[in-house]
Amino acid sequence: MRLRLQRSVLPALLCLWSSVALCAERDPLNTEASLPLKPALRLGGAVGDPCADAAPRSTLNLFDVVNLALCNNPQTREVWASSRVQAAQVGVSKGSYFPAVSLSASGNRNSPGTNQRTLGLTLSYLLYDFGARAANLESARQLLAAASSTQDSTVQVVFLSAVQAYYQTQATQAALDATREAERAAKGSFDAAEARYLAGSATPADKLQAQTAYSQATLNRITAEGTQKKTGGTLANIIGLDANRSVTLAAANSETVPPDFDRDVNALIDEAKRQRPDLIAAEAQVKAAEASADAARAAGKPSISLTASTTQANSAGITSHGSSLGVNLSVPLFSGFAPTYRVRAAEAQVEAQQAQMERVRSQVALDVWNAYQNLITATQSLRTTADLLHSAEQSERVALGRYQAGVGSILDVLNAQSALASARQQRIQSMLDWNIGRATLAQAMGNLDGNLLQTLSPAAPEKALP
């Protein structure tokens, strides 16, 4: 009977051992089921795999840039691995609800020639411990929830960085185009001044002023080319390429004026406090600290365990068997005040986590407020710069036409061209601020995700943030 019992237990022991030693990547308790998916974007109801393409396409839109950044950025891989670490800790805590089984074997040879072999099987099962293991499991679960929310927060940070790099690259390209246009106009003014000078209807001062403006426009174009190359390198770095790799972006429509943004900022702040992943993580950290404090209190209380063992010994050809079954009561009496200070440390940790949660909650409100005001300002500036650019273009055409007709001065032309170049730069900057402002507000509210790319897309700038 005892031999049959040992043979029935042995396969189970081998299975348990193999699940750890041979199949380490298995998740027998399914602890990773609650983890968020690896960073992926949703667009139009479909889930996109950010790592589906090993290499970026020849022309990238905003969705491509964000996907590549989430796929290749080490921060996203790091937080995903950290979440898996905490999921494994949940499995460790759940393991205390299972019995512990150990197998021992020994063999000795004594002089003069006596052999002794011993085989033992021991089982221990914790029956009751005043809630210590339940508190440890709850702490691990809350820490897993915090890790999952931290992953979401990190993904949004990388997401926002990719959006900013994308629009910054678009803006520097538009600025380069504007400086080229300003250089072309300055060249035209210089040609007109030179022609009038040769015809005797303009002074040398007109020619020199026009030449100076042309040289300045050329210098501005050279500076813009350098800036454009640097922002292109930054974008390539964010999506996982070397900075010297050329990245081509899809053309953007930046001329549509957006509607007014009139959402209630108080409602936005309340919504952010429900959705911000870093605040959710801080709240989970508080619950985890409270559970750890409960575990520290329970650690100083008695525990009851069920123990069972069976042994088989062979000495000098004589086989003996033994078995035992019992209940073990462990009552801690004195440990040098260590349990007391563990409880005090755990309670202080709860207070620290609560203070951190309040700090994050206050920061959430400030982030939403600042992002909201920036978006309001950017929207108004975008509307104003549209009018400014239109009037500057009209003024430049009139001044140049008057000068070419011989009734205007070169200063009027140069001033008009300078004002036009400034208006173009302000228009580009206001468009950049508006696009970044929408993404920043979404990130401050905790809902910067793939669905938002449909309204962030340059092809549809007339859509306001939902």
Question: Would you kindly state where each structural domain of the chain is located, as residue ranges?
Answer: 2-100+130-302+336-456
pLDDT tens digits, one per residue of 234-289: 999 998 888 888 888 887 655 555 555 667 889 999 999 999 999 999 999 999 99
* Prediction pTM value: 0.79
Q: What spatial distance separates the first Cα and last Cα of the chain, rounded to whole Å?
A: 72
Tens of pLDDT, residue by residue over 312-354, are: 887 767 788 889 899 999 998 888 899 899 999 999 999 999 9
Q: Does domain 2-100+130-302+336-456 have CATH number 1.10.240.10?
A: no
More confident residue, 41 or 438: 438
Task: Please write the tens of the pLDDT for every residue from 137-180.
Answer: 999 999 999 999 998 899 899 999 999 999 999 999 999 999 99
Average pLDDT over residues 387-412: 90
C-alpha–C-alpha distance, residues 273 and 433, integer Å = 25
User: 12 pLDDT band (50/70/90 cuts)?
Assistant: very low
Residue 250 · residue 61 · CB < 8 Å: yes
Q: How confident is the model at residue 21 (pLDDT cuts 50, 70, 90)?
A: very low
- Per-residue pLDDT, averaged over 431-438, amounts to 91
Of the candidates 214, 170, 251, the residue with the CA atom closest to the CA atom of residue 435? 170
d(CA 318, CA 329): 35
At 319 the pLDDT is 81
What residues contact residue 382 under an 8 Å CB cut-off, 6+ apart? 257, 258, 430, 431, 433, 434
> What pLDDT score was predicted for residue 452?
67
Local confidence band at 48 (pLDDT 50, 70, 90 cut-offs):
very low
d(CA 149, CA 152): 5
The residues facing 319 across adjacent strands are 314
- Return d(Cα 456, Cα 466) in angstroms, integer: 11
For the stretch 313-320, contacts whose Cβ atoms lie closer than 8 Å and that sit 24 or more positions apart, written own/partner, are: 313/116, 313/117, 313/118, 313/119, 314/115, 314/116, 314/117, 314/118, 315/114, 315/115, 315/116, 315/117, 316/114, 316/115, 316/116
When pLDDT is averaged across residues 284-305 and rounded to a whole number, the result is 93
Give residue 23's pLDDT: 44
Q: What is the rounded average pLDDT of the residues 207-226? A: 94
What is the spatial distance between Cα 462 and Cα 72, in angstroms, rounded to a whole number? 31
With cut-offs at 50, 70 and 90, classify the pLDDT of residue 76.
confident
Q: Which of 10-24, 109-123, 360-374, 401-415 has the highest mean pLDDT?
A: 360-374
* Percentage of the residues of the chain whose pLDDT score is greater than 70: 82
330: how many CB neighbours lie within 10 A of its CB?
Answer: 11
Residue 451 pLDDT exceeds 80 = no
Query: pLDDT higher for 114 or 434?
Result: 434
